[in-house]
Structure 1
Amino acid sequence: MYELIQVSEQSYYIQSPAKIGLVKLNKQDVCLIDSGNDKDAGRKVRQLLEANGWRLTAIYNTHSNADHIGGNKYLQGQTGCMIYAPGIDCAFTHHPILEPSFLYGGYPCKELRHKFLMAQESDAQELTKESLPEGFEIIPLPGHFFDMVGFRTPDDVVYLADCLSSRETLDKYQIGFIYDVAAYLNTMEMVKSLRAKMFVPAHAAASEDVTELAQYNIDKVLEIADKITGICREPLCFEVILQKLFADYGLTMNFEQYVLVGSTVRSYLAWLKDNGRVNTLFEDNMLLWQRA
């Protein structure tokens, strides 16, 4: 873990729970793409930088999930580097309480206020084309989170953030976190058309071709949508729908899974309603969902 792996002349990634991109800008200066999940991750990255005699100039966050921005504060404090994050995610990076609050739908109880869902705040600037090193390209990747992006480096390596999950992850956990299902599917279709020297997803193996994996992710989303529609044969409240999904997929409920999977299932229901596949009704002061 935290091994530095070179994938092209300038571009590397650090093997960690969410891969951290590292790109050499010249002989001394480097930038990071994301920073790991906590202060300990940041410390290990700093040690790696020092071992190679590199100076960190900037961290470019793909999005604001805690496992991607958790090392920001430590690394900025140690190196004085700049931090950039895209759009709405920049606000989440400044105010990390927003992530568990958004997931829960209210003020999160203490079981949700921990480093896996709430990073330390960091002084991030909004990501723009002008803030990027020369030759870098921003690739919009909406769907998984609000304004998530990827990056193409000057030597044609594409960092894909969280838009792809590995087959092993999907087969084990089944329901990956998605904020906007329609945007996610559009992003997956776009990713299938991308070409690069190497692709580096945060939660799947680096590969020269991600077309089949992108299709596997699409197929899983469509499978889950069909399963939710089938569950709603009769009018059901959200909690019962969620319970049945957990039972069907053999998942175990806890606070983290409740908010992560629950938020995702609400997004599926909204997408299915917008597409006319499910309807809603209010009965005995309860919102019910039913297949159209």
Structure 2
Amino acid sequence: MYELNQVGTNSYYIQGPAKIGIVKLNDTDVCLIDSGNDKDAGRKVRQILDANGWKLTAIYNTHSNADHIGGNKYLQTQTGCKIYASGIECDFTNHPLLEPSFLYGGFPPKDLRHKFLMAQESSAESLAEDILPVGMSSIPLPGHFFDMVGFRTADDVVFLADCLSSKETLEKYQIGFIYDVAAYLDTLEMVKTLKAAAFIPAHAEATDSIAPLVQINIDKVHGIADKILEICKKPIIFEKALQQLFNDYGLTMNFEQYVLVGSTVRSYLSWLKDTGRIAVIFENGQLLWAAIE
């Protein structure tokens, strides 16, 4: 864990719970793509930078999930580096309480206010193309989270953030977090057409051919949608539908999984309703979800 891997002339990644990109800008200066999940990750990154004689100038966050911005505060405090994030991701990075609040749908209890869902605050600025290093560009990857982006480096390495998961991760966790299902599927279809010297997903192995893994992720989304439609053949309240999904997929319920999977299932229900496959019924003070025959 936290080994340095070179994937291009000037592009590297650090293997961690979520991969951290390093891009050499010259002989001494580097920037990061994400910063890891906590202060300890930030410290390990700093040790790698120091061992190579590299100076950190900026962190470009793909999105604001805690496992991608958790090292921000430590590294910014230690190095004075700039931090950039796109759109709503910048707001969540500056105000990380927003993540557990959004997931829970209200003020989150202490059970959810921890480093896995709420990073320490860091000072981020809005990402714009003109502040990126020469030859580096951002790639919009909405769907998993609000305004997630990936990055293509000057040596043609594409960092894909959380827009797809490994086959093993999908088999283990079954229902991966998605904020906007329609946008997520559009992103996957776009990513399937990309060409690059190397692709670096945050939660899958580096590869020079991404399309097969993209298709596995697309198929998984449609499989989950079919499962939800089956559960909703008879009108059902959300909590009962969620319970059946947990039982059918063999998932273990705890507070984190309740908000992560629960939020995702609500997103699936919104998508299925907006595409005319599910209706809502208000009856006896309850909202019921019902598949349309």
- Normalization by structure 1: what TM-score? 1.00
Q: How does 1:1-292 map onto structure 2 within 5 Å?
A: 1-292=1-292
The amino acid of 1:148's aligned partner reads M
Letter in 2 for 1:259: V
Alignment RMSD: 0.3
1: CA distance between counterparts of 2:62 and 2:152? 12
What is the DSSP-based 3-state SS (H/G/I as helix, E as strand, rest coil) of the residue aligned with 1:227? helix
Aligned-pair CA distance for 1:45: 0.4
Alpha-carbon distance between aligned partners in 1 of 2:51 and 2:32, rounded to the nearest angstrom = 16
Q: Helix, strand or coil: the match of 1:123?
A: coil
Tell me by how many angstroms 1:98 deviates: 0.1
Q: Structure 2: how far apart are the matches of 1:255 and 1:210?
A: 33
Distance 2:147 2:98 in 1: 14
Letter paired with 1:45: V
- Structure 2 distance, partners of 1:47, 1:134, is 26
Q: Which amino acid aligns with 2:228?
A: I
Secondary structure (helix, strand or coil) at the match of 2:209 reads coil
1:214 partner letter: V
The aligned amino acid for 2:73 is: K
1:3-48 superposed Cα distances (whole Å, 9 cap, x missing partner): 0000011000000000000000000000000000000000000011
Which TM-score applies when normalising by structure 2? 0.99
3-state SS in 2 of match to 1:155? coil
- CA distance in 1: counterparts of 2:100 and 2:133, whole angstroms: 32
Q: Which amino acid aligns with 2:256?
A: E
- For 1:164 and 1:109, the matched residues in 2 are separated by 29
Q: What SS does structure 2 have at the residue aligned with 1:233?
A: coil
Q: Distance in 2 between matches of 1:80 and 1:110?
A: 31
Give the Cα–Cα distance (whole angstroms) in 2 for the partners of residues 45 and 237 of structure 1. Answer: 46
- 2:28 aligned partner, one-letter code: Q
Q: For residues 127 and 161 of structure 2, what CA distance do their matches in structure 1 show?
A: 15
Residue 130 of structure 1, CA deviation:
1.2
Q: How far apart in 2 are the matches of 1:197 and 1:27?
A: 22
What CA deviation, in whole Å up to 9, does each residue of 1:52-106 have, x standing for no partner? Answer: 0000000000000000000000000000000000100000000000000000000
1:173-207, Cα deviation, whole Å (9 max, x unpaired):
10000000000000000000000000000000000
Gaps of 5+ in 1: none
How far is the alpha carbon of 1:131 from its aligned partner? 1.4
Separation in structure 2 between the aligned mates of residue 30 and residue 39 of structure 1, nearest angstrom: 19
CA distance in 1, matches of 2:16, 2:138: 23
User: Which structure 2 residue ranges, 5 or more long, are not aligned?
Assistant: none
Instruction: State the SS of the aligned residue for 2:236.
Output: coil
> In structure 1, how many angstroms separate the alpha carbons of the residues matched to 2:258 and 2:167?
22
Deviations 1:235-277 (A, max 9, x none): 1000000000000000010000000000000000000000010
What is the rounded CA distance, in whole Å, between the counterparts of 2:132 and 2:259 in structure 1?
A: 34
Give the secondary structure class of the aligned counterpart of 1:22: strand
Question: Any idea what SS the aligned residue of 1:248 has?
Answer: helix
Tell me which amino acid in the other structure corresponds to 2:94.
Answer: H
| Structure 2 residue identity aligned to 1:113 | R
In 1, the alpha carbon distance for the partners of 2:211 and 2:226 equals 23
Give the aligned residue type for 1:16.
Answer: G
Number of residue-to-residue matches in the alignment: 292
Which whole-Å CA distance do the structure 2 matches of 1:265 and 1:146 have between them?
A: 16
Distance 1:56 1:65 in 2: 21
Distance 1:131 1:256 in 2: 36
